[in-house]
Amino acid sequence: MLQSMQSYMVLERLGEGAHGVVVRAKELATGRIVALKKVSVRPHQILPVMVFREIKALQHLDHPNVVTLEHVFTHGSAFVMCFEYAERDLADLLKSSRTPMPEPHVKTWSHMLLSGVAHLHEHSILHRDLKPANLLITLAGQLKITDFGQARLFDASVSPTSYPMSHQVATRWYRAPELLYGARYYTEAVDLWAVGAIIGELLHHAPLFPGQNDIDQLYVVLSSLGTPSDDEWPTMRQLPDFHKIHFPEFPKRSVEDLIPDASPSALDLVGQFLVYDGAKRTSAVDALKHHYFQVAPFPVDVTVSPLDLNFASTAAPSD
């Protein structure tokens, strides 16, 4: 059925970004709640590249842990994208609870995140902005990767040095160290660093690398994990900004120093992502086989047994 704005009743405004307004709406024919993202385009202006990338990326994807783009249609001079609706995001859940997340939730959402990222990479898509705020959580506890405005198609059969990309991608706290050193040629490993930072945040109940600016971000990473040697990161000195930024020599530290209360298997998993050399980071597919997911409590199938999100209600009332 051809969709238009007349197919929906707008219920509330959810937010406004650089490229559009997002509203919660009801599909009149079915009563379903959806999210509509309206992107205004001025006369003789082309569709913003980030919006075009989001549409193209999502047209390639079909996975329970990736948000579904259901329709794209025009409304006057605007483009409207209709997405499935989710009530919360992971950043909101982290912020709203004073206590660490229950272990079943951490393990389930980590497994869902990896499943979704594996699907992206299998379809040659770099997300380039994985962070808790871009991980939607439905009422049943299902995690869905969203916001593909910085996504990029890549060709795994071609050397990454064949196509330069911007290093000004990914939200700072989840930005891989090669990007912080100005890398223009990189792989899906930038997503895998972000995955490690997100899982570490779930375990620690706080961001692992909360830098104040781009230089401080690199300082926080290096001081947290230690200065890498040439053996650990052979291509480090070839990065564009390596010789422009100088820090003291930091002693080597383990992931356990960052997340002292995590189990050995959880630390091992996170440690396989937080590796300086992107070529040595574990893939999402391999991480799904990690023994962390093979010991109790096991990840939950939310279609059978939804996760209880009431743990977030322990948060103190807001001012």
Residue 133: how many CA atoms within 13 Å on its side-chain side?
8
- Catalytic residue check, 230: no
* Of 57, 50, 108, 105, the residue nearest 79 (C-alpha): 50
Sequence-distant (6+) residues with CB within 8 A of 148 are 53, 54, 57, 58, 125, 127
CA distance 84 to 81: 10
The verdict on whether residue 37 carries a ligand-binding annotation is: yes
CA distance 48 to 9: 26
DSSP class of residue 202 equals H
Beta-strand ranges (E) seen in the chain are 8-17, 20-27, 33-40, 69-75, 78-84, 88-89, 125-126, 135-137, 143-145, 152-153
- Indicate which residue of 89, 129, 147, 191 is catalytic: 129
* Of 64, 78, 102, 9, the residue nearest 302 (C-alpha): 64
Residues belonging to the active site: 129
In the annotated binding site, the residues are 37
In the annotated binding site for ATP, the residues are 37
